[in-house]
Amino acid sequence: MAEFTVSTPKRNVILDITGEIDLRIPKDLECGICHVICPHTTAGITVNENADPAVKHDILEKLAHLIPHDETYYQHDEENSDAHLKAILTGFSLALPVKNGKLSLGTWQGVYFCEYDGPRIRKVRLFFQKAEE
């Protein structure tokens, strides 16, 4: 198991954490799975295109349009109901393939930490599983 922190600079932001994950994968893990866990209810983890920064912008804009921050019907009194709903759509965990001690993602893919209630200091937990031969 490994864990690292992510410092999010604003309320809604998507940060590339692919490199942070790769740094923590055991180098002797030739073939397996890296389970990535976001232990927070107002943030999420996902995989998407990491070549064009406009993708992160577009994701955040569409989520803001679909789930506005200031809806009057929210009953949760912490003023972050939108963050909970956005996190549900993003998801809280991933199972990613590992090959030769590194994530085995597609050419354009990266792992995103999605903050919806920042700025905050967040945790990401990693669990490693060796593939059965």
Q: Which residue has the higher pLDDT, 133 or 37?
A: 37
CATH classification number, 2-70+77-130, choose in 2.60.120.460, 2.60.120.10, 3.40.50.80, 2.60.34.10: 2.60.120.460
Mean pLDDT of the chain: 96
Residue percentage of the chain with pLDDT more than 70: 99
Can you give the residue ranges of every domain in the chain? 2-70+77-130
42-66: b or e for each residue (b if 16 or more CB lie within 10 Å)?
Answer: bbbbbbbbbeeeebbeebbeebeee
What pLDDT score does 132 carry?
79
What is the arithmetic mean of pLDDT over 58-77? Answer: 91
- Look at residue 41 and tell me whether its pLDDT is greater than 80: yes
pLDDT tens per residue, range 98-121: 999 999 999 999 999 999 999 999
What pLDDT score does 133 carry?
63
- Look at residue 125 and tell me whether its pLDDT is greater than 90: yes
What pLDDT score does 6 carry?
98
What is the arithmetic mean of pLDDT over 5-31? Answer: 97
At 19, the pLDDT band (50, 70, 90 cuts) reads: very high
